[in-house]
Structure 1
Amino acid sequence: MNLLRIALLSTGSTLLGAWTPALPGTAPAATSLVSVVVTDLPSTKATVKLYFYNVKDNFLKRGSYTLLKYVKPAGSRQITLPVDLPHGEWAVALTQDLNNNDLVDKNFMGIPTEPYAFSNNVRPKLAPPAFDECKFLVNGVSKVVTISMKK
């Protein structure tokens, strides 16, 4: 039982360590509403995972996203996700988990075998895209970012 408590406390402190509140007397970072519209979903049932990045060096590195959102399409080939993002440069990568195994399945060469897409509708050919190819600016005006899953 003590081992379970230690594991839970360790997990909780790790999660809390990832969240940093604003310092007393400082204003919170300005945010803007961004509506991410994902079209041409291959499945109307499989979960869509949206990975948000605002640190160039972390882009597409496992577990290094700034924000992760899960959305169920609920029978539709399109989803819209409103999210408040701090001002700055952002990029979105997304996948659709067709077999519901909570992984991005890949072939023997490391290429995803499940649907994926990137902001700015970047379509990589031989290598993953760079942050600068996928980035968009969040700057105080509400924004719509449309991403097509169409291959």
Structure 2
Amino acid sequence: MLTASSLACTSVARAGSDNPAATSSITVVVSNLASTKSAVKLYFYNLREKFLKPNGYVFKKVVQPSGQSKITLPVDLPQGEWAVAITQDTNNNDKLDKNFLGIPTEPFAFSNNVRPKLSPPDFNDCKFVVGGTSTVVTITLKE
């Protein structure tokens, strides 16, 4: 199992991501990676109206799987409701490729393993609660 101590990981914070005193540790486990070499990007959201909007995430983490088909990433988050969107950049062009209809052609996933059919998922379908106890968020990447 791959852990944060063995990952090449970067984090990008966004404006409005003040660190209040009440934070909790969560662990995000992403399985079914399409590539053991391509970057996995995790986007963390805490506002419904900004979910999946360009630059609407609070922060993102970029993880190199380093030969593993599964990643385990511990993250400290302010308490409240959160959702995670994940993509894997299999061709390493630093963007999520889409077809002419706007549907991703690279692997993606959402917290709660929400599988959208004809439109992007809603924050309320993907949200999980970060509270006083440790939370494990398990997500299977969809190709």
Tell me whether the two structures share a fold, i.e. TM-score over 0.5.
yes
Between Structure 1 and Structure 2, whose CA radius of gyration is higher? 1
Q: How does 1:65-144 map to 2 (within 5 A)?
A: 65-144=57-136
- Tell me which amino acid in the other structure corresponds to 2:15: A
RMSD between aligned residues? 1.9
Q: Encode CA deviations 1:102-143: one digit per residue, 9 max, x unaligned.
A: 101000000010000000000011110000000000011111
Comparing both structures, which one devotes a greater share of its residues to strand?
2
Contact 1:38 1:80 in 2 (8 A): yes
Q: Which runs of 5+ in 2 are unaligned?
A: 1-11
- Given the alignment, which residue of 29, 43, 60 partners 2:35? 43
What percentage of aligned pairs have identical amino acids? 63
Q: Which runs of 5+ in 1 are unaligned?
A: 1-14, 23-27
Q: Encode CA deviations 1:18-77: one digit per residue, 9 max, x unaligned.
A: 26767xxxxx33000010000011110000000000011000001110010000111111
The alignment's TM-score, normalised by the length of structure 1, stands at 0.82
Change in 2 beyond 3 A, CA 1:73/1:130: same
Partner-residue secondary structure (3-state), 1:133: helix
Partner of 2:4: none
- Given the alignment, which residue of 21, 27, 32 partners 1:29? 21
C-alpha separation between the residues in 2 aligned to 1:104 and 1:41?
15
Comparing both structures, which one devotes a greater share of its residues to helix?
1
Contact 2:16 2:58 in 1 (8 A): no
C-alpha separation between the residues in 1 aligned to 2:80 and 2:18?
18
Contact 1:29 1:87 in 2 (8 A): no
Divergent runs of 4+, >3 A: 19-22
